[in-house]
Structure 1
Amino acid sequence: MDERRSNVPTTPSKEDISRLREFLAPTKIAVVATIGRDGMPQLTPNWYVYQDGRIAISTTKQRVKYGNLVRDSRLAVCVLTEPLAQEYVAVRGTADIIDDDSIWPVTEAIVRRYVRPERVQARMELLRTEDRIIISLKPERVHFR
């Protein structure tokens, strides 16, 4: 069987990681997929940052995806080009949930990608009032189109 088509997670090559870093560098929206209580996929669009070889997503403990990941840490993320999605990358792996003060520099890095510079501090002040966590995904399987 072709290993690239296998359902067994494989470690992405250095070339895959380089290509992933390049593809994720421009600001795009990530579609995050978790597994719901009923076993069905649960999908949400999210802001993200790719740093230190991981995709990081900020969310709150009140979101469905957080509860899903506490129950089942498998995660898939798809990022596509807009508007026609002619290219995309799908990344799968096991999510780590970060729930300490180390989330704030990562959260700010995410915000800086999507918010005008003059609005970053106001957004961060708002986010600091929420029960936030970081979902961190180290790519175990990467597929480009």
Structure 2
Amino acid sequence: MARTIATSTTVDLETLLEFVRPRHHLVLTTTRRDGRPQASPVTGGVDQDGRIVVSTYPERTKTTNARRDPRVSVLVLSDDFDGPWVQVDGECEVIDMPEAADALVDYYRCISGEHPDWDEYRQAMREQDKSLLRITPTRWGPVATGGFPARLAE
């Protein structure tokens, strides 16, 4: 049986965003007060301005950490766990209610499309006191796949 060779493809920002847009399974890494990483599995998307967006709550650890240190990393996974992935580093902005209401509409649109009642959606977001993390990519690794080093291919 032929072995799969690992790949590593360097991409520019636009190609990165094209890769990330259809992928919504992310692992967000923030920095704890003691300097150690804190990882959170999240659902995310890419907004119209090319920022990675994640819906959350103001009291969540990831939100607290991002307020204190806006340098975050996002691991973007494919739906197929063995599929391609990429790590994106960036600067995170935390947006709370009431300013978050319209940004959360954009978040919903980039993941799920149109909502049947945007007023109802905004009201639900206000009642839940949601926040939005908006991450501007500053650095990213290559888009990669797992596998064997080429030297071990048959």
Residues 1:42 and 1:123: Cα distance change in structure 2 (over 3 Å): farther
User: Equivalences for 1:1-145 in 2 at 5 Å?
Assistant: 16-51=12-47, 52-99=49-96, 101-112=98-109, 113-114=111-112, 117=115, 124-143=122-141, 144-145=143-144
Figure out how many residues of one structure are paired with residues of the other and give that number.
132
Q: Give TM-score scaled by structure 1 length.
A: 0.75
How well do the aligned residues superpose, as a CA RMSD in angstroms? 2.6
SS in 1 for 2:128: coil
Give me the identity figure in percent. Answer: 29
Is the 1:73–1:96 contact (alpha carbons within 8 Å) kept by the matching residues of 2? yes
Q: For each residue in 1:78-107, what CA deviation from the matched residue of structure 2 results, as whole angstroms up to 9, or x when unmatched?
A: 111122233111111221222354422221
Between the two structures, name the one with larger relative contact order (CA 8 Å, sep ≥ 6): 2
Q: Give TM-score scaled by structure 2 length.
A: 0.71
Residues 1:116 and 1:85: Cα distance change in structure 2 (over 3 Å): farther
Deviation for aligned residue 1:123: 5.3
Residues 1:97 and 1:116: Cα distance change in structure 2 (over 3 Å): closer
SS in 1 for 2:79: coil
Deviation for aligned residue 1:124: 4.5
Q: Unaligned stretches of 5+ in structure 1? A: 1-12
